[in-house]
Structure 1
Amino acid sequence: MKTTSAAKGRMYGSELAPWAIVAVAAVSLIVFGGVWLGGTLGAAVTGAGWDPPPFTLSTFAELAAHGPGRLWPGAAPAGVFAGVVAVFAAGAIVMVLVLRKVLKASSRPKGLANARDLAALTPQGIAGRARDLRPSLKGKKELQPDDTGNLLGNLEPDGPELRSSFEDVELDLMAPRAGKSTGIAIPRVLRARGSVLLTSNKSDVYTVTRAERAKVGKVWTFDPQGIAHAPREMWWDMLAECMTVEGARRLAGHFVASINDDASKKDFWISAAQNTLTALFLAAARGKATVHDLLAWLADPADRSPIDLLRDADMTALAEQLQGTIRGAVETRDGIYETSRQCVSCLLDPEIVAWVMPDPDLPEFRPHEHVLGNDTLYLLSKDGGGSAAGVIAGLADATMRAGVGAAERMGGRLDPPMTAVLDEAANVCRISDLPDLYSHLGSRGINVVTLLQSYRQGSRVWGEAGMDALWSAATIKLLGAGLDDADFVEKISKLVGQQDVSTVSVSKGKEGTSRSLSYRLDPILPPDRIRALPKGTALLLATGIRPALIRLRPWYKEPGAAAISAAAAKEAEAITLRAAQKWTTHAVEQR
Structure 2
Amino acid sequence: MDRVNAASAKARAHGGDLAPWSIVAIAAVAFVVFGGVWLGGTLGAVLTGGGWHPPPFALGTFASLMTDGPGKLWPAASPVGVVLGIVVFFAVIVALAVFAGRRLMGYVSRPKGLAGRRELASMCPDGIAARARELRPSLNGREQLHPDETGNLLGDLDPNGPELRSSYEDVELDLMAPRAGKSTGIAVPRVLRAQGAVLLTSNKSDVYAVTRAERAKAGRVWTFDPQGIAHAPREMWWNILADCHTIEGARRLAGHFVASVNDDQSKKDFWISAAQNTLTALFLAAARGKASVLDLLAWLADPADRAPIDLLRDVNMVAMAEQLQGTVRGAVETRDGIYETARQCVACLLDPEIVAWVTPDPNLPEFRPHQHVLGQDTLYLLSKDGGGSAAGVIAGLADATMRAGVVAAERMGGRLDPPMTAVLDEAANVCRISDLPDLYSHFGSRGINVVTLLQSYRQGSRVWGEAGMDALWSAATIKLLGAGLDDADFVEKISKLVGQHDVRTPSYSKSKEGTSRSYSYRQDQVLPPDRIRALPKGTALLLATGVRPALIRLRPWYKEPGAGLISAAAKAETAAITERATRAWYGSSHSGIAVGVRKWQREAVTLDKDPTG
TM-score normalised by structure 2 residue count: 0.93
Which residue of structure 1 lines up, in the alignment, with residue 414 of structure 2? 412
Q: Which moved more, 1:80-89 or 1:403-412?
A: 80-89
Which residue of structure 2 lines up, in the alignment, with residue 385 of structure 1? 387
SS in 2 for 1:166: coil
**Distance 1:72-1:442 versus aligned 2 partners, 3 A rule:** same
Shift of 1:75: 4.2
Shift of 1:43: 3.3
| Distance (whole Å) between structure 2 residues aligned to residue 139 and residue 48 of structure 1 | 57
Which residue of structure 1 lines up, in the alignment, with residue 115 of structure 2? 113
SS in 1 for 2:506: strand
Which residue of structure 2 lines up, in the alignment, with residue 220 of structure 1? 222
Q: Which moved more, 1:34-43 or 1:559-568?
A: 34-43
Report 1:6-405 matches (<5 A): 6-405=8-407
| Distance (whole Å) between structure 1 residues aligned to residue 40 and residue 373 of structure 2 | 67
| Distance (whole Å) between structure 2 residues aligned to residue 309 and residue 231 of structure 1 | 35
Which residue of structure 1 lines up, in the alignment, with residue 594 of structure 2? none
Which residue of structure 1 lines up, in the alignment, with residue 433 of structure 2? 431
1:333 counterpart letter in structure 2: R
SS in 2 for 1:102: helix
Deviations 1:375-421 (A, max 9, x none): 11100000001100000000000111111111111111111111111
| Distance (whole Å) between structure 2 residues aligned to residue 410 and residue 67 of structure 1 | 80
| Distance (whole Å) between structure 2 residues aligned to residue 325 and residue 181 of structure 1 | 46
**Distance 1:361-1:76 versus aligned 2 partners, 3 A rule:** closer
Deviations 1:76-111 (A, max 9, x none): 444433332222222111111111111122222122
| Distance (whole Å) between structure 2 residues aligned to residue 4 and residue 21 of structure 1 | 26
| Distance (whole Å) between structure 2 residues aligned to residue 46 and residue 142 of structure 1 | 46
Deviations 1:251-280 (A, max 9, x none): 000000001111111011111111111111
- Are residue 479 (structure 1) and residue 481 (structure 2) matched? yes
| Distance (whole Å) between structure 1 residues aligned to residue 588 and residue 382 of structure 2 | 21
Residue 515 of structure 2 is aligned with which of 508, 513, 531?
513
Shift of 1:223: 0.1
Q: CA RMSD in A?
A: 1.5
| Distance (whole Å) between structure 2 residues aligned to residue 415 and residue 64 of structure 1 | 73
1:560 counterpart letter in structure 2: G
Shift of 1:508: 3.6
Which residue of structure 1 lines up, in the alignment, with residue 604 of structure 2? none
- Runs of 4+ in structure 1 displaced over 6 angstroms? none
* Sequence identity percentage: 79
1:527 counterpart letter in structure 2: P
TM-score normalised by structure 1 residue count: 0.97
| Distance (whole Å) between structure 1 residues aligned to residue 462 and residue 161 of structure 2 | 37
1:7 counterpart letter in structure 2: A
Q: Which moved more, 1:291-300 or 1:506-515?
A: 506-515
Deviations 1:535-556 (A, max 9, x none): 1111111111111111111111
SS in 1 for 2:242: helix
1:6 counterpart letter in structure 2: S
1:245 counterpart letter in structure 2: I
**Distance 1:487-1:80 versus aligned 2 partners, 3 A rule:** same
| Distance (whole Å) between structure 2 residues aligned to residue 430 and residue 279 of structure 1 | 21
Shift of 1:342: 0.6
SS in 2 for 1:517: strand
Q: Which moved more, 1:556-565 or 1:509-518?
A: 509-518
| Distance (whole Å) between structure 2 residues aligned to residue 374 and residue 420 of structure 1 | 12
SS in 1 for 2:183: helix
List alignment gaps of at least 5 residues for structure 1: none
Deviations 1:531-583 (A, max 9, x none): 11111111111111111111111111112211111111111111111111111
Which residue of structure 1 lines up, in the alignment, with residue 5 of structure 2? 3
SS in 1 for 2:72: coil
SS in 1 for 2:17: helix
List alignment gaps of at least 5 residues for structure 2: 591-613
SS in 2 for 1:159: coil
Which residue of structure 2 lines up, in the alignment, with residue 504 of structure 1? 506
